[in-house]
Amino acid sequence: MTIRVLLADDQALLRGTFRLLIDSCADMEVVGEAANGQEAVELTRAHHPDIVLMDIRMPGTDGLAATAAICDKPELSGTRVLVLTTFETEEYVAKALRVGASGFLGKYVTADVLLAGIRTVASGEALLSPGATRALITRFLTGPAPGALLAPPERLSDLTPREREITALAAEGNSNDEIARKLFLSVLTVRSHIQRALTKLGARDRAQLVVIAYQTGLVRPTPRGM
């Protein structure tokens, strides 16, 4: 299956470089280019790409607003956003995750890391670069008010105890392999539980599952200094 990619960046030279790189892969193709966030939203509606490679700082509608607009539309649920930016700050990573981004990479990454990142996000996994650490997730996803919940705990009511357990472990940053080892399960079983949790919670991918886990209080942030 070919991964269809939309490029959103205000630098034409950079878009051209990404196009050459992505189109050189047998399992990927670029289906469009956007120079700003508004174009990214419009082209996503037109082409329904699998991945939008989204810059944050663009003129007019920025990448965060465009990401929110794309992720908020049910008809675009098959499209995932991978944010790629030079501004890899905790604030940007947290905002990108909150509005629905499935991954976040700095523009300094190598070509191999970028291509692997596109494949990772296309497969439904969450992707955070080394700069977007587990500490960042636990410190920032629950919002500005300490202890405040941004989603009702009742949202988790349809999950089985095992699905809650596995969702919590995923939210703490554990991979499927790590969860399988901790719970003495097969990786396939873990993956099945994750998929059922995604379906029940209406989450488009693992990144959104992590956000829901923190916002409902299933997992609590680790206080700074601990």
Range name among 31-40, 107-116, 125-134, 139-148 with the lowest pLDDT average: 139-148
Domain ranges in the chain are: 3-132, 153-215
Q: Do domains 3-132 and 153-215 have the same CATH topology?
A: no
Quick one: tokens of 223? 């206080």
Quick one: tokens of 137? 């997730």
Greater model confidence, 189 or 145 = 189
pLDDT at 89: 61
Mean pLDDT of 156-168: 93
Q: Taking a C-beta distance cutoff of 8 angstroms, is the pair 167, 197 a contact?
A: yes
Beta strand spans in the chain (E):
3-8, 28-34, 51-54, 80-85, 103-106, 127-128
Q: Is the pLDDT of residue 158 over 80?
A: yes
Cβ-count burial of 179 within 10 angstroms (0-12 exposed, 13-18 middle, 19+ buried)?
Answer: buried
Instruction: Give the CATH H-level superfamily of domain 3-132.
Output: Response regulator (3.40.50.2300)
> How far, in Å, CA of 215 to CA of 155, rounded?
10
Range ranked top by mean pLDDT from 21-30, 98-107, 204-213: 21-30
pLDDT at 47: 96
Of the candidates 70, 102, 103, 99, the residue with the CA atom closest to the CA atom of residue 88:
103
pLDDT at 176: 85
Residue at 103: amino acid letter: G
pTM: 0.70
Range name among 33-42, 116-125, 156-165, 206-215 with the lowest pLDDT average: 206-215
Q: What rounded mean pLDDT belongs to the chain?
A: 83
Residue at 82: amino acid letter: L
Residue at 206: amino acid letter: R
What confidence tens digit (pLDDT) does each residue in 80-103 have? Answer: 999 887 765 666 777 787 788 888
> How far, in Å, CA of 43 to CA of 65, rounded?
15
Mean pLDDT of 114-137: 69
Quick check: helix, strand or coil at residue 21? Answer: helix
Residue at 55: amino acid letter: D
Quick check: helix, strand or coil at residue 161? Answer: helix
Name the one residue in this structure whose structure tokens are 């193709």. 29
Of the candidates 116, 121, 85, 106, the residue with the CA atom closest to the CA atom of residue 208:
121
Q: What angle do CA 16, 21, 25 make, to 5 degrees?
A: 140
Residue at 133: amino acid letter: T
Range name among 35-39, 111-115, 143-147, 169-173 with the lowest pLDDT average: 143-147
Q: Is the pLDDT of residue 130 over 60?
A: no
> How far, in Å, CA of 7 to CA of 188, rounded?
33
Query: In terms of CATH architecture, what is 153-215?
Result: Orthogonal Bundle (1.10)
